[in-house]
A and B are shown apart, each in its own frame.
Chain A
């Protein structure tokens, strides 16, 4: 086939030489000889091809390249039609995809802290599996599909719990109206809907604390059951999209310091968001959202709190660069009193790929009021830095160092190693 390619290239080149050859240069004789040689080679190639079996869909890449020449009509009808139905049939049935990780984490103190993901509170360091994630998708018809994300997470003492992270019936009417019904990750922030439970997709070994899942100590209602609608807003080059969600989140939080379980008993929520992906800079996304529901402080007699969460984000992904920035304002207004807590939080993460290595730096900040519903979080801020090394497109290794400053508590240093994979 390589002969054939070379011959084709040479013929193309020579076919353009008509006018030049009319000048009868001294090299004409040489060219004539080469043309003769080419004709002989062509005949040999034809002879060889006539002995080859019909091409199959499992050809190697070089063979595929060679087939980029214009196929003769009879070639198309004789060799391609038989395998097209297998190649191009609609993807029916259930498609599976998996994500897994193995972690080692070490802290510089024994004080219980972030006893989640299987990390044993009170230990200097231990291994744990984190989340094992199975993603199932199935197309029902051209517009309807089903998605489910089953997460098997490690709890304390190597107990494993199964969580239905997402189960969605999706109906995409068109680009302007895409509906999802079921359990979803709320559009409360960019990170929540970009990475879900897939640790392999993340550059860092863990999520920013403000975007951590509630059952791992995160402060926000990251999961809910209800309806989510999104789509494009006709806006030309601005690339505006909207997001509207209505549902029940019923968040159960893990207290970071003592491991208590706090059931927020959330009322139904709404979440409205808008974001732009301007044509002028592919990879840029700028947007924000507002979320509102009512929660109950189960540790303080079930007092009701109006919870509003504002988000703004600026994200750029392109040319090997990842630049994530999100800011939040969590507002808790206590009913039957004038107590209002405004708790700001943000994280900023930047990374750049250099071949297989992607060094990263993240800084995060969260300031929860003492005496408030999230007082176990308190004030925490500090950098995380490290690198991700991709062995190939499916296996990555991450090494991350965290330094966290805490109000009224000693600084916390941690090293987190993670082998993440997808299959």
Chain B
């Protein structure tokens, strides 16, 4: 307990006395990642929203989009909900209604880690997910959003 307290105090102290380099402030950017073979290179913010809202369900060429999202409490999940303008409860009801309307068969598969998201992206040619840019690994292809890659000025998702 004392150790934990000491660490917490130290973290607060260091954070309060340090000048965080600009580059670090951008490391929380959330990348839009797709399968390496997916030819898409750039999307608008609205296109990303439409994809994760299930309103757009195929890539150019007809390849079905396969959505993967993080389970509740992950940072990527918070960014997703912010993007959609929904609470966790709204999100659940939204997909229930979408299933009921016959627009989708199921809500997006929620994964427990970015490692699992990586495997999913590699496994499905039409896969797309939101991943913390620090966790983007070989096998995942980052897509530009509004012409910017994560970490660049003007990138919209963090």
Measured CB to CB, the residues of A under 8 A from B are 2-3, 6-7, 9-10, 12-14, 16-17, 20, 27, 31, 34, 37-38, 41, 55, 57, 59, 61-65, 67-71, 75-76, 79-81, 84, 87-88, 91, 95, 97, 99, 135, 137-139, 142-143, 145, 147, 166, 168, 170, 172-175, 180, 193-194, 196, 198, 201, 232, 237, 277, 279, 282-283, 318-320, 390, 393, 422
Contacts and interface: CB of A to CB of B under 8 A. Distances in A.
A372 to B, nearest CB: 33
B113 A68 contact: yes
A87 B3 contact: no
Given A3-B4, A10-B7, A13-B14, A137 B97 contact: no
B71 A6 contact: no
A260 B100 CA distance: 32
Contacts of B113: 55, 64, 67-68, 71, 80
B3 A175 contact: no
Contact of B115 (A80, A91, A143, A174): A80
A138 B111 CA distance: 22
Given A17-B14, A64-B71, A175-B58, A135 B100 contact: yes
Nearest to A68: B114
Contacts of B64: 142-143, 172
A84 B116 contact: yes
Nearest first, the 4 closest Cβ-Cβ pairs linking A and B are A67-B113, A64-B112, A71-B115, A61-B73
A143 B62 CA distance: 10
Contact of B112 (A59, A174, A198, A237): A59
Given A67-B114, A175-B57, A198 B74 contact: no
A406 to B, nearest CB: 33
A66 to B, nearest CB: 9
Interface residues of B, number: 59
* Residue with the greatest number of chain B CB neighbours at <10 A, chosen from A17, A65, A170, A320: A65
A17 B55 CA distance: 45
Contact of B105 (A65, A91, A175): A91
Contacts of A390: 89
From DSSP, what is the main secondary structure of chain B's interface residues? helix
A190 to B, nearest CB: 11
Nearest to A283: B85
A319 B85 contact: yes
Contacts of B72: 61
B119 A76 contact: yes
28 contacts: A6-B7, A12-B24, A13-B14, A13-B15, A13-B20, A37-B6, A61-B72, A67-B112, A67-B114, A68-B76, A71-B113, A76-B115, A80-B115, A88-B120, A91-B105, A95-B105, A99-B100, A135-B99, A139-B105, A142-B64, A172-B57, A172-B64, A193-B101, A201-B96, A201-B100, A283-B85, A390-B89, A422-B96
A283 B123 CA distance: 33
Contact of A16 (B20, B96, B99, B120): B20
